[in-house]
Each structure stands twice: as structure tokens, then as C-alpha cells.
Amino acid sequence: MQTHVATTPFGRRSMTLGQISSQVSAKAMPTEAMVNKWEVFQHIREAREMLGATDRALAVLNALLSFHRDAELRADGVMIVWPSNEQLMARANGISPATLRRHIAILVECGLVIRRDSPNGKRFARRGAGGEIEQAYGFDLSPIIARAQEFKDLSDAVQAEKRALRVARERLTLLRRDVVKMIDAGIEENVPGNWGRVLQIYQTTVSRLPRSAPRQHIEDICNELQELHVEIRDTLESFVRSQKMSANESHSERHIQNSNTDPHKESEERSREEKEASASGANNRNLHSLPARELPLGIVLDACPDVKALAKGGEIRHWRDFLAAAEVARPLLGVSPSAWQEACEAMGEVQAAITLSAILQRSDQINSAGGYLRNLTDKAREGKFSTWPMVMALLRAKLDASRSPAHKASDPRNEGKSPSERLEVSDALLRSLKRPR
């Protein structure tokens, strides 16, 4: 015969409003309610962080559920289990008594179980004459039934959040890949644009991304990268359209020239163009004697090693890293944004970055880096400037310094090394260095 249902814990354990709320929910559930205890346990395990439960607490809950014989929990059945601490510790993977008590308290605080303590704190059941349980003291599993739908909703919310986080991470990966490769394409194809600024924006945005970021933070970063993605794509698409228009116009011009029936006039125009070209070549003999190809990044870095210190991580592997470092060097040298913009327009951004790196390398010899850059920009507009002589001069100075006896004696890195080990250059580069300016 059930004499009294205990509502307060035994001993010095205090009663809380949360425990009373769990008891109210257990009393309010319909008598026909029934759930599969392992399905509900799966929902609880997925939503454990939202419930405030720990992994060890769930191990204890799993052990408590195992002491209930049936897989189904019924509101009209016996919902109390009364295992001893020794039995619980054995089924909870052998945890210590102190750990067991701590995590049982967590289960009670989370409202997953209810304590039904006996007058002396022991756990047991009293059976009647027919063998039916009349009175039981232990842990009441009624909240598993009463809150089953709540646990399912929480589990669904957690799964939806995981899916949203996975989608956000996939979007972030795609945006980062697209932005980096489109920047590389713009630099390699010499598309007009301030690619150094774009790189700086990208690196600043990505640097705010921690190793383990929440979904909302990832989505905010994605939104910023999306704006940058649209800007870069529009720049590249505009350039492609302009190239197509130029190709169409030149195709039409070729048709017009082919329709010319006066061979004497055509030969006169060709001879005049050849004379102009030869005159221009005579005026700019030094520039025309330089290699037609672009300066390799490795040669630039050999000539201007100081720019590496301004790169992220102190390493430059691609032109995009070089442009980003040049953007950092610009304000350090006191070059105004307008002077930099004019240099990029006149030389192209890569050549302007090489020029700025050379100025940085010789900053101790240049009083006004901004004025010097403007002077070189004016020469570039007139076709009288190339970065090859600047880089070759820096390499020549570096080579001469490595060959000087004072440098050999003062530099400890040169001890035990032959001259070829100190500075390795190709034969083609040596011929370029020896060529008169």
C-alpha cells in the first residue's frame, strides 16, 4: 500500500523549484502515455548540451534505464528503479562513488530523473501479498515519458543547427577558394584593378575566423566574402567583355584593310610605320634590350628580401602574397594612396608593387619614397621606365657585397662556404647583370 510519495531529497540535499517543476510535469502526464526508452534516450543524448547534461551523466542515465526491465515506459506502470550505488557504478563503466553522486545530481538538476528517497535514504521496493510492488524508493523515470516530445524537439533543433553549420562551412570553403583563384587570375592576366587592396580585405576578413567558430560568425564572414566575390567577379567579367569588344573591332578593321585595292598606298603606310618603330627603338635602346618576359617572383624576392618581413607569416609564395605585402609597405614608406593609384594605373599593379619593394629595399638612401614613386610613374607613362634595371641593380649590389672581402669576414654565415654557395645565380642572370645600362 502506497503510504506517501516523497517530494524532498534525503539528508542535507536541498529542494529546488526545478525539482518541483519536474514533479508537476510527471503528475500532469496522461495515464496512457508510453514511449520507447531507448529512442527517448537517443534524443536526450543529441540534445545533451541544451539540457545541460554531461557525457558521464548520460552514462549514469543509461545505467538507470537498463534497470527497468521493459523497453517501453508506461505512465500507468512502475517508473521507479532502485539499484544500489555498487550496481550503478558497475553498469556505468566503473566510475567512482564521488563521480556517481555528482552526476546523479546533474540528472536531477536537468529534470531527467526524480529522487524518491526513503526515510533513511536507502533504495528498495516493498511488495504486497500478490507480489505487486506497493512502495518503491529510488529514482523515478517519469520525466522520460512526460518530456519525451520536448526532448525530440530539442534533438531536431540540434540536428537542424548541425546541418546549417555544415552548409555554412561548405559555403565558406567555396567562397575562399573562388576569391583566391579569381584574384590569382586577375593578377596573372593583368586585369586592371587594385588587387593589393582586394587581397588585404580578404586577409583581414579571413583572419577574424577562429579555428572553431559558431555558425552565425561563419555566416557573417561568408556575407563579407560574398560581397568581395561579387566585386571581383564583376571586375573580371567587365574585362572579359571589353576584350571581346576589342577583338570584334580589330576583326572588322582587318576586313576593311583587306578590301583596300591600292597596293602602293598600303606599302607606303607600312614603310612609314617601320620608320617610326625604328626611331622609337633608337630612343629607348636600353628598355628594348631588356628581356620581354616578366620578372620572376623568385628574382624579385632575391633582390628585395625586406618585403618578406611584411608578408603574413613572413613568407611569400605567390604574387598575391607579394601584392598584399606591398599594400602593407605603402603606408610604412609614406606613399599616399593617390600616388600608389597613379603608379598602378601607369605600370600595372604587379610592376608598381615591384617598384615599391625596390624603394623599400633602398629606403635608407631615398629621402621621399612618395616623390620618387611619382617620378618613376611619370617615366612609365612616357615608356621610359622598366622594373628590370631596378631589380638588376639591387642584385648587382648584392652580388658585389657578397664578393667583397670585408663582407666575407664580417658575415658568420659565409664561414666554410665557397663563393658559389654564398650567392647562387644563373649564367643568364650574370649576363644580364654585366650588360651596360
Is 358 part of a structural domain of the chain?
yes
- When computed from its CA atoms, the radius of gyration of the chain, rounded to whole angstroms, is 39
SS3 (DSSP) at 97: helix
Check which CATH number belongs to the domain holding 24 and give it.
1.10.10
Are the C-beta atoms of 357 and 301 separated by less than 8 Å?
no
Report the alpha-carbon distance of residue 264 to residue 107 in Å, rounded: 102
Q: Are residues 165 and 129 in the same domain?
A: no
> Which regions in the chain score pLDDT beneath 70?
1-28, 246-293, 404-437
Which residue blocks in 115-262 are alpha helix, DSSP H? 142-146, 148-188, 195-207, 215-258
- pLDDT on residue 46: 94
Cα gap 392→432, rounded to integer Å: 8
- Give domain status of residue 273, yes or no: no
Q: Could you tell me if residue 380 is inside a domain? A: yes
Q: How far apart are CA 364 and CA 246, in angstroms?
A: 45
Q: Are residues 87 and 114 in the same domain?
A: yes
Place of cell 531536431: 156
Answer with the one of 186, 213, 244 that is the final residue of a domain: 244
46 in any annotated domain: yes
Q: Are residues 165 and 228 in the same domain?
A: yes
Residues 173 and 117 in one domain: no
Answer yes or no: do 23 and 96 share one domain.
yes
Domain presence at residue 422: no
pLDDT at residue 417 in the model: 47
Torsion sign (Cα): 28, 31, 33, 36: positive
Q: What range defines the domain where residue 345 resides? A: 292-401
Between CA 69 and CA 78 the distance in angstroms is 10
Are 73 and 190 in a shared domain? no
Let me know whether 226 and 122 are in one domain.
no
Res 9: pLDDT: 58
Same domain, 381 and 352: yes
In a domain? residue 42: yes
Q: Is residue 63 part of a domain?
A: yes
- CA–CA distance, 99 with 21 (Å, rounded to integer): 26
Q: How far is CA 260 from CA 247, 249, 256, 269, 402, in A?
A: 21, 17, 7, 12, 62
Residues 311 and 388 in one domain: yes
Residues 100 and 174 in one domain: no
Q: How far apart are CA 346 and CA 373, in angstroms?
A: 11
Whether 232 and 296 map to the same domain: the answer is no
N- to C-terminal Cα separation, the chain? 112
The verdict on residue 287 lying in a domain is: no
- Examine the domain organization and report whether 23 and 102 are in the same domain: yes
- Which residue's C-alpha cell is 563521480? 99
User: What is the number of structural domains in the chain?
Assistant: 3
Confidence (pLDDT) at 395: 85
- Give dist(CA 44, CA 36) in Å, integer: 13
